[in-house]
């Protein structure tokens, strides 16, 4: 059978492979971007589910409205407003089936073949992959540990002008590098971009997983022209199995997303939306998030300490202030894909960094998730990786 031309660009099986690593119980996988299942509040979910069936009966099992369950949209808007001094209403929120769907819909909404998507270097491979499917070319903007460099941004948007329709950025604890833009860089970014007719897709999937206090206003709170589309998710702060996430943006733009949603999956799961709404009604999500953060902070500290102890000195890594990942740099000229093949033989997995570059990937980096493995496995896996590295870097 003849497939579409875009399938040639979809052959990067990296995400698929991550999922497979996760399924092998013997693997110590630092590969996924998964939260830790032990944090999922089983009892509270049971109670919320029973309350949903009690309160809504069969209605909870029907199709949802296209934009999603109204009370949940209201709660998401309120939460944003309380945290970030935005003034969102429930009409400025649409529910999506995971935030990956928000990325897919954004690709469908904005990108024609040959359009440019401006992004950080490196960036989230799941976003790069779906934007490629819509024919995007990528304009990588030089990025340092404080975020996108404003002078470089200015230069790029001036040079490529009208060809850029979308900027995709992850200011909070970015996937894969875990860097967090400074408040100043956020303001600088908006003050450059506001002069151009470019939509800004702000991916906030990791925003709530912060280990330190920092001033980091989301771009949507600095938006003067209604340019910013902010997407967030319950996957990392609650449970990914419900597939409930959201987009916040001006009503006019929400209406465009609503034109797509029926053609993509009709609506998101009605019962799952109500379940999360009921949980938010009955329990404190913020308290739950605090507990998650404590656990992940411990694992981050343990992972860093163990890497310091067992990784060769020429291997460099950052100290993430939030999120689920550490970003590791091998000496120049060394290839993380080759390292992965050696590691897999010892049942340790991670994601080579090259996949996170839209083009001309640097091959000497890799991403390590520390949230999903037990303390014991973190130590065991990093020790094993240290031994492999010592030989590999000789």
Annotate 90-155 with DSSP letters as a single string.
GGGEEEESSHHHHHHHHHHHHPPTT-EEEEESS--HHHHHHHHHTT-EEEEEPEETTEE-HHHHHH
Size of interface with a second copy, in residues (CB under 8 A): 81
* Beta strands at 116-120 and 228-233: parallel, antiparallel or unpaired: unpaired
Using CB under 8 A as the binding rule, whether residue 4 contacts a second copy is answered as yes
Q: How far is the CB of 208 from a second copy (least distance, A)?
A: 18
Considering only the stretches 34-42, 71-79, 214-222, 307-315, report the one whose residues sit in contact with a second copy under the rule CB under 8 A: 34-42
Binders of a second copy among 318-347, rule CB under 8 A?
none
Which residues neighbour 261 within 8 Å (Cβ) at sequence distance 6 or greater?
66, 67, 94, 96, 105, 267
Using CB under 8 A as the binding rule, whether residue 126 contacts a second copy is answered as yes
Cβ atoms of 235 and 72 within 8 Å: the answer is: no
Using CB under 8 A as the binding rule, whether residue 371 contacts a second copy is answered as no
Binders of a second copy among 58-87, rule CB under 8 A?
58-66
Binders of a second copy among 183-212, rule CB under 8 A?
197-199
Using CB under 8 A as the binding rule, whether residue 57 contacts a second copy is answered as yes
- Single out the residue of 42, 160, 301, 316 in contact with a second copy (rule: CB under 8 A): 42
> Which residue, among 39, 34, 33, has the nearest Cα to 292 in the 3D structure?
39
Q: What DSSP character marks residue 322?
A: B
Q: How far is the CB of 238 from a second copy (least distance, A)?
A: 9
Considering only the stretches 102-110, 207-215, 296-304, 309-317, report the one whose residues sit in contact with a second copy under the rule CB under 8 A: 102-110
Q: How far is the CB of 334 from a second copy (least distance, A)?
A: 28
Using CB under 8 A as the binding rule, whether residue 25 contacts a second copy is answered as no
Binders of a second copy among 234-263, rule CB under 8 A?
235, 239-243, 253, 256, 258-260, 262-263
Measured torsion, CA atoms of residues 310, 316, 321, 327, in degrees rounded to the nearest 10: -100
> Which residue, among 73, 100, 91, has the nearest Cα to 168 in the 3D structure?
100
């Amino acid at each position: 059978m003849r497939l579409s031309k875009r399938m040639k660009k979809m052959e990067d099986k990296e995400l698929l492979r991550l999922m497979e690593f996760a399924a092998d119980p013997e693997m110590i996988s630092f590969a996924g971007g998964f939260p830790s299942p032990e944090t999922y509040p089983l009892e509270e979910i049971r109670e919320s589910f029973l309350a949903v069936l009690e309160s809504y009966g069969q209605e909870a099992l029907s199709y949802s409205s296209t934009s999603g369950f109204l009370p949940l949209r209201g709660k998401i808007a309120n939460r944003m407003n309380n945290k970030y001094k935005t003034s969102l209403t429930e009409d400025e929120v649409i529910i999506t089936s995971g935030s990956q769907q928000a990325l897919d819909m954004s690709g469908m909404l904005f990108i024609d073949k040959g359009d440019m998507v401006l992004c950080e270097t490196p960036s989230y491979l799941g976003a790069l992959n779906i934007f490629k499917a819509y024919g995007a070319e990528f304009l990588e903007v030089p990025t340092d540990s404080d975020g996108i460099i404003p002078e470089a941004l200015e230069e790029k948007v001036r040079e490529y002008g009208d060809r850029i329709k979308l900027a995709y950025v992850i200011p909070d604890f970015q996937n894969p590098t875990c860097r967090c833009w400074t408040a100043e860089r956020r303001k600088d970014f908006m003050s450059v971009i506001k002069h151009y007719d470019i939509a800004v897709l702000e991916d906030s999937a990791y925003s709530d997983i912060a280990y330190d206090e920092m001033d980091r206003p989301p771009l949507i709170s600095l938006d003067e022209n209604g340019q910013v589309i902010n997407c967030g998710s319950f996957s990392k702060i609650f449970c990914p199995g419900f597939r409930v996430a959201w987009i916040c943006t001006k009503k006019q733009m929400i209406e465009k997303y609503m034109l797509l949603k029926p053609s993509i999956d009709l609506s998101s799961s009605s019962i799952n939306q109500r379940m999360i709404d009921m949980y938010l009604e009955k329990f404190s999500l913020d308290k739950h998030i605090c507990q998650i953060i404590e656990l992940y902070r411990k694992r981050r500290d343990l992972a860093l300490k163990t890497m310091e102890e067992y990784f060769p000195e020429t291997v460099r890594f950052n100290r993430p202030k939030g999120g689920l990942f550490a970003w590791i740099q091998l000496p120049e000229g060394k290839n993380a894909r080759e390292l992965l093949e050696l590691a897999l033989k010892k049942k340790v997995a991670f994601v080579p960094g090259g996949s996170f570059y839209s083009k001309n990937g640097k091959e000497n980096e890799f991403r390590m998730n520390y949230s999903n493995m037990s303390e014991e496995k973190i130590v065991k896996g990093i020790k094993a990786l240290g031994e492999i590295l010592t030989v590999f870097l000789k």
